[in-house]
Structure 1
Amino acid sequence: MALPFALPASLAPSFVASRCTAADVDVDALSEAYYDSFRTDVRNTFWWPAARAPMIAWMRQRFRCNLGTRGVHQFTLADAGTGDIVAFARWSVPAGHAGLFGEWAGAESEGEAGVDYPEGSPPEPCRRFFDALQHMADKHGADGMLKLSLLFTAPKYHGRGAGTALVRPVLALADAHGLRAYVQATPRAKALYEKLGFREVERVSFSLEELAGSGQTGTCDFSAMIREPQSA
């Protein structure tokens, strides 16, 4: 299925973008790539189980479930030379704009992804963490915007414009349709989104010592960011 946007010409020629569909998506590879992309950021993985396997299993389930959630569109960027997943983006389209990305590529039988927690994760910290993020999204009306709910780039491909390639062209589509965009950003990603026109509207900070109770110190911060449609 053709992509609804064009990739920047500056990308490496071996990088190939595709839309995730139930017929061809490799959820195992996506789950491994997600894990490796975030595992070094201890301030935002405090709620993960200690073991790798249950976290991978949880992500596998969520990738599959999102294939069955109408309005959710997932895209990958891969290196044709190595077969590596380079970057991934998940977008949610608001009601009334179902055609923004063309035909939906999901599979109804997969069902919707609910908020559950990986086996071995601390239930109460997980609940408080996800509830706070959901409250922030609801407060700012995120469901009425084009929402970027997940973006990651494999560590070995950092600095090569891969993540931006899956965001900037989509924001151009949003501009063409007069759509606001929403994202919740970690401190590590905030500067990137600011360059793309997002502005922080709220920040929630979690005390790791209070939330995790595991001897960790410092805070886990997430920023709610909104981008207004821009004219050419």
Structure 2
Amino acid sequence: MLALEPVTEADLPAITDLWYSAFGPSGFLELIPDTPNIREWWNSANGHDLLHKPTAYYWKVVDAAHPSKPLVAYAKWDLESAEERGDRFPRWHAEMNKKGCDDLFGKLEKQRSLLLGGTKNYYLDMLCTHPSYRGRGAGSMLVAWGCEQADKDRVAAYVDASRDGRPLYARYGFEDRTIDEHRAEGITCMVREPRS
């Protein structure tokens, strides 16, 4: 049985493991290699936001039938405008492809800024599901949480969707609003207006 729980500081290494399981095969390793130093960078970046950003909400999905697995999916929702939040990530680690990271994440930040301006919105900054749990409802639980909060607060929700993730987000009312001149390869910028 899958259950939704808040992420704790003890979960940070498992979150990093999950990120590489979910996104490593999709080409991100060219930008963010899987090295001990970069794993520590991820742990530190997520730890900082978890502990010091009151508008960053980290949730995990656990499988009660397999308690030895610390988590099978996680999401980070952020309730701030891009302008209020500042930089999404700390400085890139020396072992990362800095130019590639600047290009990709710069395009994504530009899209969000153009689409939503300085308005508050629930930004699905990250959603990862372990490959063996895809299609079993973990991602839906994490998306539903943010959509419910956005509706309650009457603000839009936003996500930079991968090809695999687009159908899930569309089911929750996210629409493709990508601006072609700032398009990042393989990513769709999606907005969901609040529902009453």
TM-score strictly above 0.5: yes
| Number of residue pairs aligned between Structure 1 and Structure 2 | 185
Give the match for residue 165 of structure 1.
141
CA distance in 2: counterparts of 1:127 and 1:178, whole angstroms: 32
Task: Supply the RMSD in Å over aligned alpha carbons.
Answer: 2.2
Q: 1:79 to 1:188 in 2, by over 3 A?
A: same
CA distance in 1: counterparts of 2:132 and 2:39, whole angstroms: 20
Deviations 1:74-101 (A, max 9, x none): 0111123243211101111238xxxxxx
2:37 to 54, 59, 69: 54
Identify unmatched segments of 5+ residues in structure 1.
1-12, 96-111, 207-219
The percentage of counterpart residues that share the same residue type is 24
Q: 1:114 to 1:19 in 2, by over 3 A?
A: same
Give the match for residue 37 of structure 1.
22
CA distance in 1: counterparts of 2:54 and 2:149, whole angstroms: 19
Residue 107 of structure 2 corresponds to residue 120 of structure 1: no
SS at match of 2:62: strand
- Give the partner amino acid of 2:134: H
CA contact (8 A) 2:5 2:59 kept: yes
> Rg bigger for which structure?
1
CA distance in 2: counterparts of 1:162 and 1:61, whole angstroms: 25
CA distance in 2: counterparts of 1:116 and 1:54, whole angstroms: 13
CA contact (8 A) 1:65 1:113 kept: no
1:71 to 55, 58, 61: 55
SS at match of 2:177: strand
Residue 195 of structure 2 corresponds to residue 230 of structure 1: yes
CA contact (8 A) 1:88 1:166 kept: yes
Residue 32 of structure 2 corresponds to residue 18 of structure 1: no
TM (norm. structure 2) is: 0.83
Q: CA deviation at 1:56?
A: 1.7
CA distance in 2: counterparts of 1:87 and 1:58, whole angstroms: 20
2:163 to 187, 193, 198: 187
Tell me whether 179-188 or 115-124 shows the greater mean CA deviation: 115-124
Higher-helix-fraction structure:
2
SS at match of 1:65: helix
1:62-141 correspondence runs (5 A) = 62-67=45-50, 68-80=52-64, 81-84=66-69, 85-94=71-80, 114-141=89-116
CA contact (8 A) 1:200 1:226 kept: yes
CA distance in 1: counterparts of 2:35 and 2:130, whole angstroms: 17
SS at match of 1:181: strand
- Give the partner amino acid of 1:177: D
CA distance in 2: counterparts of 1:74 and 1:163, whole angstroms: 13
